[in-house]
Structures are given as C-alpha cells and as structure tokens.
Structure 1
Amino acid sequence: MHPFVSKAALASAFCLVMQGATAQNKASLTDPAQMKTLLQKSVFDIDTSAKAVIIYEKGWFESFESAPVYKLERIVKIIGKDAVDDFARISVPASKRSLVRKVTGETYNLENGEIVKQSVEKADLIKEKITANTRVTKFALPGVKTGSVVHYVYQIDNTGYGLPSWDFQNSYPTLYSEYEINIPTILKYSSVSNTSVPFKEVTRQRSLEDCNACLYNSANGNLGRQTSIWVRRNIPAFRTEPFMSADANYLERVKPTVTSLEYPGYQFLLDNWEHATENVYYKNDESCGQVFKGNAFLLDPVNQIIAGKNGDLEKAKAIYAFVRDHITLKEESFNDYKALSDISEVYKRKEGNSEGINLLLIAMLRKASLEAEPVVLATRASERLHSFIVDINAIDYMIGIVKIGGQDYVLDASDKYMPFGTLPLSCYNGYCRIVSKKPDAVELHPDGLTDKTTTIVSLAPVKDKLLLKVEQKLGNVSGTLLRNELKEDTAKLKEKIQKGLSKLSTPLQLKQYSVNSLKNADLPLVIRYEAELPWNADKDLVYLDPYFDKLCEQNPFTLTTRKFPIELGYLSDNKYVFNFQVPEGYEVDDYPKSSVLKLSQEGLMQLKNTLVYDAENKTFSINCHFNQKTTVYTADNYNQVRTFYDNVIAEQKKKIVLKKNTPAQVH
C-alpha cells in the first residue's frame, strides 16, 4: 500500500515485545525419533498427491514497547521435486523503512539412516531493491531435495501501521497454522475471518491444543496489553483459478482491523467508513485534504484551460486532458513521495505519482467550480472492500469523481492513454469511498464497464487474388489496452496485424495498414489494413473461412471443474460484419446456417449469427454479434460457460463452400 497518509496517531500506539510460543507440531525439531519418522514419510492423509505439506506455521504480530514487528516460522516436508524450488529459496519482501532480521533456516535430510542438518549462513543472505520503496531479502536453504524437511524463521521490524492479515491457506496443504497478535489495550480492533470451519472462541489457551478452528482472547489491564490467538488445523491447499479476482477474497484467512485509538482526552475513530475517511483522508493535508484548500496558484491556469468552453462537461474534459497530457507519471521512492503527491509540487514539476496527479486533477476541477472529489479504493490485486468492514490498509489507489448534470464521471489522469470517464480495469473492484465533507460510497463494478468493438471485413476478387479489407473500431477498454501496448509505435502494430494474419487457415500478405487516433485517447482507436489472399480459379471446390476476426481461437476455460466464480474484468459487446463478393465463375454451394447461441435462458452470454447469400448478386454476408449481460458466473454454471465457448469456436470454424460453375451454368 502506498503511504497515502501520515498515520501519526496510530504510530504512537504501535510498539513491540516479542514472545515465544510452542505447539506440539514443532516437536520434530527437538525429537530425533519424530524427525526421522517425518523424513521417511511421503504420503499424508490431508492430500495424498501433495508435493509438499506445511507441517507447522505461526505468525506473530506484536506492538508494545517499540516499532511494530512481525515474525514468521514454518516447517515444511518436501515430497515431490516440483516443490523443491518453492522452498529451497525464500524471498521476504518488505518496505524500504522495514528491517528483515533474525533470519534462521535449517534443512534436514536422511542419509544412510542418519539425520543430517544443514543451516543457513549469514553470508547466504542477499538483499535486493525491487522498486523505489520495496526491498527483498533472499536466502537459500542448503541441500533441499525430495524428502527434505525445512525449517525457517524471519522477523520484520517496523512493519508499518495497521494489523496484518494472516492466511491460513497456502498453495500446499497445511497441518497446523497459528496467528497471534499482542497489542496495547488502547487500540480497539475487530476481526473478520473466512474459513470453511467457523472459529470457536475458547476461554483457556490450553484449549487451542486440540481444536480444529479456535480463537483465544485475553487482556491484561494492568499491563495495558491484549492478546488474540487463532489456530487452524488441516487446511487444504489453495488452487488459484483463471478469471478470478484476488486470492485474498477466497483464501481461508483472518483479517483484524483497528477501529479506534483511545486514551484519556483523545479518541481517533476508525469504527466506520465515515470516521475513517474523515480522519485518515479528509483532514489530512498531505493527502486528500489538499484539494479542499484554496489553492490560489491554480486559478489562472484553470481559467486559461476552460476559456471558451461551453458547459461544465466541456470544462471538465479540457481540465482532464491538460492534466493527463502534461503531467508525467513518475515511479515514487520513499524519499520523494511527499513531493510527488503534493499538488503544488506536482503542478510545478509536471510530474507526480498517481495519487498526486489525480489530486491535482480534482483540485483543478474544483477551482473551475465543478463538484469533484477524491475516491479511495482497493484494486483487483487486493481484497475487495466491504461496506461493513473498515480496512484502510487494503486501500491502494486513488481516483477522482466529478458530478455533472446528475451523472458521475470517474477519472484517472495518471494514464496518458485513458479516455475521459474511464478507469484502469484494476479499479473496477466493487465498493469504494468518496472523500468529502459529507463522505459517501460508490460502486465500481465490472458490470458497469462495456467494451464495444466493431470489425467490418470485405473480401472481393481483384485480378488473380482476393483483396481483404478490414476496419476495426476498438472500444474504450481494448483501445486503451492496445495504446498502452504499442506506446505509439506503429511498427508494433504492423507486427501484431501480421501475426494475426499468420494464424488464419489461408496465408495472407499484408499490403498496407493505418491507424487513427493512436495518440489521442479521447477519440476511438480505428485500425485499417488490406491484405491479399491467393485465388486459384482452377479449383472446382474452394473452402473459405469467413471469420477473419474470431471471438477466440481456443476455449479460455480449460479446467474440467471449478470451485470459485468466474469474474471477468468487463462486459464485451463485439460486432463482426463480413461482406464477400463471390468471384466470377463460382457460386456458393454450401454455407453455415444462421444461429443463436445462448448461455442460459436469460442469455447471460449470447452469440447471434446471421448469414445471407444473395445468389442473384453473388454476394455473401455475415452479421455476428456477441454480448454479455454480466461479468460474474457462479461455479455451478462453469460447465455451461465452457460448453458455450466450445459451441462458439465450433460455429466460427465452419466454412463456406464455393463451387465452380459448369459450362451450362455460365450465363
């Protein structure tokens, strides 16, 4: 998460004293007999096909007397060679301000009936810079192979503010998983868990030793300390599936969140979204608070931009285009974060991070007397926000919203190829919060985003060839994606067209191409090209593939079964028009019949194919329309979705058959 705000009030409460914990699952580390049994074991009842099993893992988060600290310990049994690389090298990402230390690790192997232990050396630790604000500590566990048992521990000091979530579920099955937090009693918090087995709250810590899913809470008023411990046993492996949102939405996990900081004479509330957005964003002059100031330095520039513009919508579009086209997105570092998010500096330097650029946009819109406000959200890479759970730590992006004529327009000026009123796909992740004097919420659901594309294809004989002409008008989504892919390089476009032509059943030679509005994101992106298809007039029968732009070449849904819903990023509305002038001396002998393919009676997905042959004028045409009504399909509907796409592919593989006229048929 970007440090949108300086959470000084929370910082004063977060401090740490680490304390140990024991569990029966760790006994193999100190008992040679148990370790030997574990090393010899290759099949576990929890998953007989597992390539590795997590025997024990525990996370600690404590904050009491110094900076907040997180610690992790894990014991893993390696069963198959596919899992060796996952545990032979461990990477620990952390922010620039954090410190990874107290790294230990051991590998246990059974050689000639004896247990051999190898340890990580200090010299094995490697630290790398991943981004301006992210570092990763790497270490290799020596001698890891099939049959090994590995054990490693690390600690992260100064983890930042907020209570980390804990995932009980991993990509490998887990026998025992525990999470413990120790924090001051002046911090009030709530927690939300997502598990297949509900947590049972117990009153004695010893009760955790034999439960499947238990929670233990305790508080010591004299020490000003409170502890919570969650324990889960026998958790199946998590399998990520294509076309789903962030894993965090489905993993078995627990998410504790701070609701308030309270001590005599002071109260900092985060118990609901209204309080959270007010205290963390609206009142924060280093973040959203900037846009609600006077910002007199923007008066003259804004007046120049909107001069001669008629109506609020034209003014908003002009301001948006100015910020998008003149302010450069720059990767931030911890040292220059403030400058890149300070709107006066962003305007002066003509560069900023995404937050700074969008805050400048909002401030300029407000200077033009438009009703514009910041919106904070969690992108699709993060867990979705919920109206009933305040989770400031999940927020990782900021956009703008402007209300004009009773309509809301969402804006992100940090992407130079983004049209007015459109956002990156990652932003359409449900519940978001509007930051204002009267805070409100807005839903950004993928169902509200439709990508409309139209492809018109003509094919006609020219001398001894068939000339193919294609005009493709891309929608806002596909146009933005292509602009970002090409980066205004038309040579890349040529390669892309040629690659598409090479996939066709009949070879085509590209003759010319052009593109309109590649640099202007506010206009539709239109691609035109011509290609030649060899024509042999000596053949009695010719099989022609009329679908030069197929919906898909292969079924995108390859899994035989599915556990989680299908979640697409946007709605598709694709039109394909094909007009064919039949060459002299030939007629259409056979062609596919018109059809309508539907997913469910409601037509949640639909492909309508209308095919017409005009024998008198010797023309053949296809009008194909594919559209979707929703972006979410339940796992129960998965087989229907797969079958629908199988049918679409089969339909678009059908060919038209041209038959050479016999001499008697020639008029």
Structure 2
Amino acid sequence: MEELTMPIYSLDSSANAVVLADVGNSYFVWGQDDFELVHERHCRIKIFNKAAFDDATFEIPYYSGAYSKEKITQLKGVTYLLENGKINEYKLDSKGIFDEKITDNLNNRKFTLPNVKEGAVIEFIYTIKTDRTTFFKEWEFQGKYPVIWSEYTARIPEYYFYKLEMQGYNPFAINEKKDGNEQFMIRWSSNIATQGNEGNRAGSASVSARTTDYRWVMKDVPAFSDDKFITTKDDYISKIKFQLQGYQYPQSAYHGVLNTWEKVTEAIYNTDGFASSMNRTGFLKDQIKVIADKYPDMATRSVAIASFLKSNVKWNGNNGYLASQTPKTVFEKKTGSAADINLLLVGMLREAGLEANPILLSTRRNGRVNQYYPMVDNFNYVIAAVRLDSTDLLLDATDAHRPSYLLPERCLNGKGRLINQKSEGRWVELENDNLKAKRLTVASLGLKDGKLAGDIIVYAKDYEAANMRSSVAEITNEDDYFKKAFKTNGIVISKHSFDNLKNIDTTLVTKLSFESEEELNNNSIIYINPILFGSFTENVFKAKDRKYPVSFPTAKEDSYMVTIDIPEGYIVDELPKSARFDLSEGGAKFSYTIGQVGTKIQVRTIVSFNKTMFLPEEYEGLKAFYAGIISKQSEQIVLKKANQ
C-alpha cells in the first residue's frame, strides 16, 4: 500500500518513475552434458506519471544460434493499481509477449505490462538459462530512473575463472565476497569425472565444488542523465561486467578462453565474414588497376580507391565488424553495412598494391575499449588502414559527405585494434590532432536604406565542413537549412549560396546577405551586436555539478571576423572591451579583440578547444568558460548621432 500511495520520490521529485527494487542472481547448474548458467531477475518499478508509460515495455535479448541457445522461462509480470481503496492486480498475458529478430543469432523477447496508469507499481520476473558460459550476465545498478535498491548475487564454482570489471561513480552499500560450496549431480559420461569413476560408464554421482559467492548492493542510486557530451552512458553508469578467462575441470588441463588480445583478435580474424571478405576482390581487378596506374602516390591512390567505392556502394546504416554479404553481392546491390564496405575496401587496397589492414574499434555510442580487459564484444565497427612509411592512413568509406580520411565522429573513440594478415594485432590511435572542426566567419556590416545590412562568408574545413554537408543533405530545401542554421531575431536573409558543396575534399564556402527588419537610421542611438550569427548562443552546461567527463568528438576552432562601417552622421559612443581567457592550461581558449580604425570598427573572436576530454573537476571551469563566451559575444556596440 505504501508504494502505491507514494506521490513522488523524495530524493528526486522530478523523476517520472523510480525503481523500487531490482534484484538479480546468477549461478551454475549441470545441464545435459556440461555446465549451464542460470540468470534470474526480479524488478519492481513505481510509475508516477504518463511520461514513464513507455518504459513499461521491456526487452530481454537472448542468443539463438545453430549450436547454442538461450532459453527464457518463468516470465511473469503484473501491474498493481490502487482503485477505490483496493489493490487490484493485472497480470501479464501471453498476448503481450512476442519475439523480435535482431540478427541471425540474436533475438529480443519483448513484453508490455498491462493497464499501466499513473501511480501504478509494475513488477516482472524471468529466468534465462544458457550453455554459453563465456557470457556471464553483467549487471547495471544505474539507469534512466533513480533506483532505491539494486542487488546482484553470483555464485561461481571453482572450475571457472572470470575477470570482473567494475565501473561507475556510486558506492556499494554491500560488497561481499565469500567462500562457499555447491553440490552438482554429474553423469559419468560427462566431461567431469568423480574420484574413482573415470571413463564413459553410464551413471551419476554428486560432486562437491568450492564456490566463490558474491553479493553487491547499491542504495539510492541517482538516475543517469545522458547527454551529447559523453561517448555513451554505458561508459559511466555503475555496473559489473564479467569476462571468462578460462576453465579447468577436475583431473583436466586448464583451458584459456580469449584471455589475451592476441587470442581475441585471432578468433575474430578466423571468423567467417572477416578475413574471407578481404580476399574476394578479383571481380574489381580491372577497375582497381586503372586507379592504381593513375595515382602512383600511395596516399592519393588510397583515397581514390575509397572514393571509387563510396561512389558505387551506399552505407545502409548498420555497424559491425563481420560482413553480412559477399563483396560481389555488396557491389552488385550497391548497399551494405560498415563491415561489408570497409572490409571490401581493405581487399581493394591490397589489390592495388598497398599494405592495408582492418582496424577493429568501438563506436562512441558503443562505449570505450578497456585495453586491460580483452573482450570480443568490445568491438562493433571496422575501418581500413594503409601503412605509409611509419604512419597509418585511416580510411572509412561509409559517408558520402566527408573525405575518406576524415573518420566519422562515431569512430573517434580512443584506440582501435589493427589486425594484419598474420592475425597479429596492435593498438592504433583513432583521433588525429591535426583534423579539427574549423570554422571562419567573415562579415561586413553597415546601414543600407536605413536598415542594418551586410554580407557573411563562412569557411568550413574538415569536420565542420563534413557536418554542414550532412545537415544540408538532410534538408530538401536549402532555404530551410539557412533559416535554421542562421536564425537570428530581427534579421532576414535575402540571398544565400554554397561553393564546393559537392566537392568534399575542399573547404565549404557559405555566402549570405541579410538585412534587419527594423529601420535604424532615424534612431538617435544604434545598438549593434557584431556577432550576429555566432555559434555560442546558449550555455549547454546547466547542471550544478558533474560526476563524469565531458567528451567532445573532435577538437574545434571557431573564428569570427567582422568589419562594421560607421554610418555617416554617427560616432562611437561605447565599445565592448577586448578580453582573453583560457581553461585547463590551454585546453580551451577564447579571445575577443575590438578596435576602431577611422570610420570602421573591427572585431575578431577566436574560440578554440584544443583537447576533447574535460574531467569532472574541470566541469565548473568549463561551464564558466561557456558563460563567459556567451556574455562577451552578446555585448553591443553603441553608436550615437554626432550632433548630440
């Protein structure tokens, strides 16, 4: 009754829901001929308002391959409502449960709790059993809504050796590790033999095994607020992950399982859909030879081949590092996943006589790769690399709006794992400090026919140009793009155009002319904001504090140069003062320079972010840095009539 009458969550009154309790338990049982993993979950959630109704739908991913399957059992759910002073229960019906195919081997079991209303408490339980002991279920203590109690227990027998990875910024209320004991009923024909009962004789016996028993509890965990200034919430939420290092049954040798990066990369290299997709480019031999003969310079040849592939095959939006189609099928259908395209690219580069290899990586939204924990599921993407003397030229052929050497921002996430043709690997830095988001705006302002009018030219390079081209491509009408990208109150854009919009290897030039809606020539005093179309109009950092880093995908440089003609009959009454400040020992810099030269006023501002990661202890300074830029760029020039 107390949960059903709870009006708000006292520690976060803005929460649309609160997880009352989320309890998980994982342990081993003996299956038909080997150990199996069992994972149980029991969760209760309080729904405060309609904004949380969609979160009464849940997904349970499960594996279903040719030789291994996960089985979901005992799935039950119920919605509790307090109606007319009585607690009513609405149970989950089988009609509210269905399966959804994600890939050939991965599915989702989806279910929606019935009759969810404001004030409801929803509850569900389920069990998953699997013979895939490599994949011990991880546990998330934190999520979209605050959590009052989150508990995970695990019992691991002495035969299995897991490496545990804990992350997050919330403390454990309970963190226990104890020795225990478990009895397993084992058949004689199994892989484990009891003392004095070796061989394949039929029968069974009870085997006693030492266990390690874990219990982790977190209380009053705050909701995790996702934003665009992190890679992904999965990098920062409080959770525990497991990686099987190896196993050793009684009277048997130890078996290592992908416990080194060498083993991980070798396993991936030998998986169908990886190396094989780089060795089937013979059907493009003639076209590749033409390109190779035309471009003797290796770097130019590499980019030319990637450009040829981009012009013939379009990315379908799917990531991955294993090809889903043969190279010939990809080329014939003219569409494919990132793996389809970039593994084909590696093969084409090799065909052209280049030392090319794939690089496995994790996209920003997939999370960072922890180099101390070799895990296959760290990766979800692949790009190409060409060795040029002592450097690696990294290439991606999925984006038609950027040069192939300019990796998509989704790929800029620490380091990737390069695998050569001997299945040997090494780490490669994915971020290039020389490639930034560069923008230079040159403006001229003055009075024309009584209105403030002027011309602006924006020069965009590298990531700024790529992002602008992508934004233009998403909008069918260029007028709509300019209205959105250059929106300023009281200003009307009269003309606009692009130079080099389709030529992705060059600087993108944007030109526009504008005028004010209001006539100003009759005013005794004129106020002019010289930074009319600045990039810093709102402080994006509003939270009081922050527990995790701010991560920008690229470094950035934004310059603005404006010349203002002082109208005839007016003089300068007041100018903003020049200013300069920086953050984190040059990690970010801002300068504002202003001066009058005859009848002209010249203003120049430069904002540069020279690093991409700002730690939590730098957040307050970063927030103040943004506030300072916005305040300074909003200051106005004051002109008055000369005869006053």
Report the TM-score, using the length of structure 2 for normalisation: 0.83
Larger deviation, residues 106-115 vs 369-378 = 106-115
Q: How does 1:329-344 map to 2 (within 5 A)?
A: 329-330=315-316, 340-344=324-328
Q: Distance in 2 between matches of 1:63 and 1:395?
A: 30
SS of match in other structure, 2:294 = coil
Larger deviation, residues 432-441 vs 242-251 = 242-251
Matched, 1:425 2:393: no
Q: Distance in 1 between matches of 2:632 and 2:488?
A: 17
Matched, 1:287 2:274: yes
- Please list the CA deviations of residues 369-418 of structure 1 after superposition, one character each: whole Å capped at 9, or x if unmatched: 22211111111112311221101112111111112243322111012223
> What letter matches 1:288 in structure 2?
A
Residues 50 and 117, structure 2, Cα contact 8 Å, conserved in 1: no
> What letter matches 2:287 in structure 1?
P
Residues 330 and 351, structure 1, Cα contact 8 Å, conserved in 2: yes
Match of 2:186 in 1: none
Residues 510 and 532, structure 1, Cα contact 8 Å, conserved in 2: yes
Q: CA distance change for structure 1 residues 604 and 396 in 2, over 3 Å: closer, same or farther?
A: same
SS of match in other structure, 2:267 = helix
Match of 1:443 in 2: 429
Q: How does 1:51-200 map to 2 (within 5 A)?
A: 51-60=17-26, 65=31, 71-76=39-44, 78=46, 80-81=48-49, 85=53, 88-92=56-60, 102-109=74-81, 115-127=87-99, 136-145=108-117, 148-155=120-127, 162-170=135-143, 171-180=145-154, 185=159, 188-194=161-167, 196-197=171-172, 199-200=175-176
CA apart distance, 1:614: 1.0
Q: CA distance change for structure 1 residues 628 and 38 in 2, over 3 Å: closer, same or farther?
A: closer
Match of 1:452 in 2: 438
Q: Distance in 2 between matches of 1:83 and 1:230?
A: 36
CA apart distance, 1:457: 1.0
Match of 1:397 in 2: 381
Q: Distance in 1 between matches of 2:640 and 2:590?
A: 28
Q: How does 1:8-407 map to 2 (within 5 A)?
A: 51-60=17-26, 65=31, 71-76=39-44, 78=46, 80-81=48-49, 85=53, 88-92=56-60, 102-109=74-81, 115-127=87-99, 136-145=108-117, 148-155=120-127, 162-170=135-143, 171-180=145-154, 185=159, 188-194=161-167, 196-197=171-172, 199-204=175-180, 222=194, 229-235=213-219, 236-242=221-227, 243-260=229-246, 269-281=257-269, 283-291=270-278, 293=279, 295-330=281-316, 340-407=324-391
Match of 1:660 in 2: 641
Match of 1:572 in 2: 556
- Percent pairwise identity: 25
> What letter matches 1:598 in structure 2?
D
Q: CA distance change for structure 1 residues 532 and 622 in 2, over 3 Å: closer, same or farther?
A: same
CA apart distance, 1:40: 6.6
SS of match in other structure, 1:360 = helix
> What letter matches 1:252 in structure 2?
S
Residues 561 and 604, structure 2, Cα contact 8 Å, conserved in 1: yes
Q: Distance in 1 between matches of 2:327 and 2:606?
A: 46
> What letter matches 2:124 in structure 1?
Y
CA apart distance, 1:238: 3.7
SS of match in other structure, 2:496 = strand
The match for 2:482 among 497, 516, 520 is 497
Residues 74 and 126, structure 2, Cα contact 8 Å, conserved in 1: yes
SS of match in other structure, 1:556 = coil
Match of 1:522 in 2: 505
> What letter matches 1:152 in structure 2?
F
SS of match in other structure, 1:169 = coil
Q: Distance in 2 between matches of 1:232 and 1:45?
A: 24
Aligned residues: 605
Q: How does 1:504-519 map to 2 (within 5 A)?
A: 504=489, 507-519=490-502
CA apart distance, 1:261: 7.0
Larger deviation, residues 459-468 vs 41-50 = 41-50
Q: Distance in 2 between matches of 1:553 and 1:221?
A: 71
> What letter matches 1:284 in structure 2?
T
- Please list the CA deviations of residues 491-518 of structure 1 after superposition, one character each: whole Å capped at 9, or x if unmatched: 2x321222355423xx233222111232
Q: Distance in 1 between matches of 2:7 and 2:480?
A: 50
Q: Which runs of 5+ in 2 are unaligned?
A: 183-190, 195-206
Matched, 1:483 2:483: no
Q: How does 1:582-597 map to 2 (within 5 A)?
A: 582-597=566-581
SS of match in other structure, 1:577 = strand
Q: Which runs of 5+ in 1 are unaligned?
A: 1-35, 207-218
SS of match in other structure, 2:371 = coil
SS of match in other structure, 2:385 = strand
Residues 322 and 339, structure 2, Cα contact 8 Å, conserved in 1: no
Q: CA distance change for structure 1 residues 338 and 565 in 2, over 3 Å: closer, same or farther?
A: closer
Q: CA distance change for structure 1 residues 490 and 49 in 2, over 3 Å: closer, same or farther?
A: closer
Q: Distance in 1 between matches of 2:218 and 2:322?
A: 46
SS of match in other structure, 1:589 = strand
SS of match in other structure, 1:474 = strand
SS of match in other structure, 2:286 = helix
Residues 545 and 655, structure 1, Cα contact 8 Å, conserved in 2: yes
CA apart distance, 1:155: 4.6
Q: Distance in 1 between matches of 2:301 and 2:641?
A: 62
CA apart distance, 1:255: 1.0
> What letter matches 1:526 in structure 2?
V
Larger deviation, residues 47-56 vs 624-633 = 47-56
CA apart distance, 1:82: 6.7
Higher relative helix content: 1
Q: Distance in 2 between matches of 1:517 and 1:37?
A: 65
Residues 61 and 164, structure 1, Cα contact 8 Å, conserved in 2: no
SS of match in other structure, 2:263 = helix
Larger deviation, residues 540-549 vs 152-161 = 152-161
Q: Distance in 2 between matches of 1:479 and 1:189?
A: 46
Q: Distance in 1 between matches of 2:216 and 2:51?
A: 23
CA apart distance, 1:163: 3.4
Residues 492 and 515, structure 2, Cα contact 8 Å, conserved in 1: yes
Residues 62 and 182, structure 1, Cα contact 8 Å, conserved in 2: yes
> What letter matches 2:354 in structure 1?
L
Residues 4 and 119, structure 2, Cα contact 8 Å, conserved in 1: yes
The match for 1:415 among 386, 399, 407 is 399
> What letter matches 1:169 in structure 2?
Q
Q: CA distance change for structure 1 residues 523 and 72 in 2, over 3 Å: closer, same or farther?
A: farther
Residues 319 and 338, structure 2, Cα contact 8 Å, conserved in 1: no
Residues 594 and 604, structure 2, Cα contact 8 Å, conserved in 1: yes
Match of 1:532 in 2: 515
> What letter matches 2:138 in structure 1?
S
Match of 1:613 in 2: 596
Q: CA distance change for structure 1 residues 607 and 338 in 2, over 3 Å: closer, same or farther?
A: closer
Report the TM-score, using the length of structure 1 for normalisation: 0.80
Q: Distance in 2 between matches of 1:414 and 1:225?
A: 52
Larger deviation, residues 84-93 vs 247-256 = 84-93
Larger deviation, residues 651-660 vs 578-587 = 578-587
CA apart distance, 1:232: 1.9
